[in-house]
Amino acid sequence: MKTLRRFARFNAVGALGIAVQLTGLWVLVDLWGVAYPLATALAVALAIVHNFVWHLRWTWGDRHSDGSTTALAFVRFAGTNGVISIVGNVAIMLLLVDVTGAHPLIANAIAIATCGLVNFAMSDLFVFQA
């Protein structure tokens, strides 16, 4: 039951993170004209920081301890969720935008969903260890 509640919280934070990421991507690509691969990486990085703060305080708040643990958890989060999200999002975006002609926002939404389950497992088992 605790895992289901944690997964629901993970998804709620993820939904907010998706809004942060897609908004960032939209601003970078459509308003500022940044190339979508770079814009994707930057938007994902913004969402990673957002999601880490919420996961630390809410999703895995029962596992939080001191500041040194927080710094180590961020390094683990960036090294797992960050790498999975940036590499996965950029790779999937390149495939969907360049091969199928999908709009970057639609392609990015698909990429986010694809990386989500792996990120939950990595967070629960490695980043926010019990």
pLDDT one digit per residue (tens) for the chain, 130 residues: 788 999 999 999 999 998 999 999 999 999 999 999 999 889 989 999 999 999 999 999 888 666 668 888 899 999 999 899 889 988 998 999 999 999 988 998 899 888 988 899 899 888 887 6
Q: For tokens 């970078």, name the residue.
A: 28
Burial class (CB in 10 A: 0-12, 13-18, 19+), 71: exposed
Looking at residue 96, its pLDDT comes to: 96
Indicate the residue type of 51. N
Q: How many CB atoms lie within 10 A of CB 31?
A: 8
Looking at residue 66, its pLDDT comes to: 65
Which H or E run includes 37? helix 36-54
pTM over 0.85: no
Q: How many CB atoms lie within 10 A of CB 123?
A: 23
